[in-house]
Amino acid sequence: MIGFAAWRARTAPLVLTLALMAGPALAVQPDEMLADPALEARAREISRNIRCPVCQGESIDDSNAAISHDLRVIIRERLVAGDTDDEVVDFIVDRYGEFVLFNPRASGSNLILWLAGPAMLVLGGGIAFFAMRRREVAPLAALTAAEEARLKEILKD
CA atoms within 13 A on the CB side of 116: 5
Mean of pLDDT over the chain: 81
Q: Is residue 11 part of a domain?
A: no
- Phi-psi category of residue 82: left, alpha or beta, with phi > 0 → left and psi -120 to 50 → alpha: left
- Residues of the domain holding 53: 22-100
pLDDT digits (tens, 9 = 90+) for 91-145: 999 888 888 888 777 777 778 877 889 999 999 999 998 888 887 766 778 889 9
Amino acid at 150: R
pLDDT digits (tens, 9 = 90+) for 63-73: 888 888 889 88
Domain count, the chain: 1
Q: Is residue 137 part of a domain?
A: no
pLDDT digits (tens, 9 = 90+) for 45-54: 988 889 888 8
Q: Is residue 71 part of a domain?
A: yes
Mean pLDDT on 1-22: 65
Q: Is residue 145 part of a domain?
A: no
Yes or no: say if 49 and 99 are a contact pair by the CB < 8 Å rule. no
Considering only the C-alpha atoms of the chain, give the largest distance between any 2 of them, rounded to a whole number of Å. Answer: 94
Q: Is residue 53 part of a domain?
A: yes
Q: Is residue 147 part of a domain?
A: no
Q: Is residue 91 part of a domain?
A: yes
Q: Is residue 4 part of a domain?
A: no
How much is the pLDDT for 65?
86
Looking at residue 55, which CATH number applies to its domain?
1.10.8.640
